[in-house]
Amino acid sequence: MTTFEIRSPDGRTHRSGSVDGAHSITELPATEPGVLRYDVVANGTARLRWTWPAESAVTLWRATQSSHRELPTDWGSHRDIRSVRSAPVAALVDAQDRSLLTVSLSATVRGCDFAIGVHEEGAEQLIQLAVDDIEPTDGVHRFTVRIDLRGLHFAEALRGVTDDWTRELGDRIVPVPELARQAMYSTWYSDHQHVSAESVERHARAGASYDCKAVIVDDGWQTDDTRRGYAYCGDWEPTFHDMTQHVRRVHELGMRYVLWLAPPLIGHHSKAWESLKDSTLGHLEHLEASVLDPRLPEVREHIVESCVRPVRDWGVDGLKLDFLDTWAAWQLPGLDEGVESVLQAITTELRRLRSDVLIEFRQDYVHPRLWQFGTFLRAGDCAMDPVENRVRTVDARLLAGDRAVHSDMLMWHPAAAPETVAQQFIGAMFSTPQVSMELDALPVDHQRVVRFWLGFLSDHADVLLHGVLTPMRPDARYTQVRAVGAETVVAVFANPVVRLSESDRSVVVVNGGSESRILVEGAGSGPVDLVVSDCSGVEVYRGTATPPELWAIDVPVAGVARIVRN
């Protein structure tokens, strides 16, 4: 056992940590005050352990699609992290959104057990890290532990982590095509497995009229079975007549074509089952399919050809690769390396065919190692839930670096109030929207809402997708979210008080809450222009005011207020 020292920036707090299974642990020279880094060279599984007195913490921010925001116990906080599941980072956050402690591991770590939780015996946080799979560097298995004690806003602390990962991965990160940041239509909630060539072309035509740029054809194109299982996965042969001509017709509508596949899955009713049934890791009963072993050459050959064929032979523009996290159900030597080998082979061949190929991944595979392969990341499934979509897209944005992040597909009841429809878009407004409704059958009031919000998200995309993102109160599922760039956009959810700074000259406030009153603090003593619109973009007020210090503005639910200082 080896010990190492953790000290707070003011020197008042000091803890000794221990590490087992490491050849060495060395504190690296400080490059940022308050950020400690340790270089660990591992012999096998390296186990690090220390405590920290984060007594004012109210939540533990974790890289997972779960909305659990509690402070877990040390015995209940363990997360098994793999290349295709979660990411090695967590932050203890207080009620003022400060990161009291943010711990992360370098992108060389493929697999680890990552635990931060309340140690009941000492009323402190116990950090336990067990790193068991590391990409070797020059034949050496080494990784970096990063401990951020700066007390910054937790989003800024997480940006420091992603900045480190970005520098570490360098030119291994695949570029993100601009199309990956533009609205798309998905067939999943509208069609499920009842998708057909005719329905895809109908959706593509309608989607293009709403300025969507691509259609994502989900599960169902490869089977006539509509029972929602995966027993027929594995052949990846279209049931559509003349796939190449069908894709061409979609392209003629001005839409790109993205096709769903689940590379790990092999169904017992597929033609490929007989040749690959002995090349699986095991069966997942709830999916009615087995999971292929990517360490085997015959499996890699089958998966790569299945993924390349749609782009090479049918003219498809990209792939939605699903169920990659099923590979994380097994912890076997070389498995994560095999997974990455398959993904690298797919990415290399697809980018050889077309440099702007689109590859969609989904939460919970958010590990920085996947930046080498995917071009956009979709929030995990949360049908009709704008709050969950808000949480999942913001969580993904905080850890995605410069990756494009998409909402889960937006859907709503056909008889929903217009405000309810708008709330679906507001919940997803800091991501790229995917829509999955029968757009050509929408009532007129829904059409107005959808057109307004898709236009709003496009018009403000620069700040919404590239601005500095600052969400409030992760323990309360983000009560307010702010993005700052050339302008400031604030989405108000459960906190109606918008605090402006001197630098906020042009501000857009979106009412994502349930009350039609927003309180603005610090708008300034001089005159400001105010324009208010409702959920469908209809202007309800325009004027100039000299606001008090705490200014009450009536903004319709799901409406928008623009404040411009003169």
Question: 519: buried, middle or exposed (CB in 10 Å: 19+, 13-18, 0-12)?
Answer: middle
3-state secondary structure 172-221: HCCCCCHHHHCCEEECHHHHHHHCCHHHHHHHHHHHHHCCCCEEEECCCC
Domain co-membership, 259 together with 342: yes
67 against 7, higher pLDDT: 7
pLDDT at 228: 76
Mean per-residue pLDDT, 462-487:
97
Q: Is the confidence at residue 229, as pLDDT, over 90?
A: no
Domain annotation covers residue 387:
no
pLDDT bucket at 64, cuts 50 / 70 / 90: confident
pLDDT at 65: 65
Q: Which residues contact 462 (CB under 8 A, 6 or more apart)?
A: 485, 486
Domain annotation covers residue 428:
no
Domain annotation covers residue 111:
yes
pLDDT at 225: 79
pLDDT at 66: 67
Domain annotation covers residue 554:
yes
Domain annotation covers residue 482:
yes
Domain co-membership, 20 together with 53: yes
Of 171, 186, 208, the residue that ends a domain is 171
Domain coverage including residue 47? 2-171
pLDDT at 226: 74
Q: Whole-angstrom Cα distance, residue 300 to residue 263?
A: 10
Q: Which residues contact 121 (CB under 8 A, 6 or more apart)?
A: none
Of 117, 151, 171, the residue that ends a domain is 171
pLDDT at 217: 98
132 against 241, higher pLDDT: 132
CATH number at residue 246: 3.20.20.70
Q: Is the confidence at residue 55, as pLDDT, over 80?
A: yes
Domain annotation covers residue 46:
yes
Domain co-membership, 136 together with 249: no
**pLDDT tens sequence across 518-555:** 999 999 888 999 999 999 999 999 999 999 999 999 99
Average pLDDT across the chain, whole number:
96
End-to-end CA distance of the chain: 64
Q: Is the confidence at residue 124, as pLDDT, over 80?
A: yes
Of 328, 348, 378, the residue that ends a domain is 378
Q: Is the confidence at residue 492, as pLDDT, over 80?
A: yes
Domain co-membership, 323 together with 214: yes
Domain co-membership, 19 together with 97: yes
SS3 102: strand
Domain co-membership, 66 together with 186: no
Mean per-residue pLDDT, 401-411:
96
Instruction: Look at the chain and report how many structural domains it folds into.
Output: 3
| Residue 384 CB-half CA count within 13 A | 8
Domain co-membership, 491 together with 524: yes
Domain co-membership, 152 together with 225: no
Using CA atoms, how far residue 546 sits from 262, 394, 522, 525, 542, in Å, is 57, 34, 11, 6, 14
Q: Is the confidence at residue 182, as pLDDT, over 70?
A: yes
**pLDDT tens sequence across 44-54:** 999 999 999 99
Q: Is the confidence at residue 496, as pLDDT, over 80?
A: yes
Domain co-membership, 338 together with 476: no
Instruction: Specify the pTM.
Output: 0.97
Domain co-membership, 124 together with 246: no
Domain annotation covers residue 410:
no
Percentage of the chain modeled with pLDDT above 70: 99
Percentage of the chain modeled with pLDDT above 90: 95
Mean per-residue pLDDT, 313-341:
97
Domain co-membership, 105 together with 221: no
Question: 492: buried, middle or exposed (CB in 10 Å: 19+, 13-18, 0-12)?
Answer: buried
Q: Which residues contact 403 (CB under 8 A, 6 or more apart)?
A: 176, 371, 374, 375, 376, 377
pLDDT bucket at 69, cuts 50 / 70 / 90: confident
Cα maximum dimension of the chain: 76
Give the residue among 120, 131, 126, 117 at the shortest CA–CA distance from 68: 117
Domain annotation covers residue 444:
no
| Amino acid residing at 155 | A
**pLDDT tens sequence across 267-304:** 999 999 999 999 999 999 999 999 999 999 999 999 99
pLDDT at 224: 85
pLDDT at 344: 98
Strands 539-545 and 528-533: antiparallel
Domain co-membership, 163 together with 261: no
Q: Whole-angstrom Cα distance, residue 93 to residue 114?
A: 17
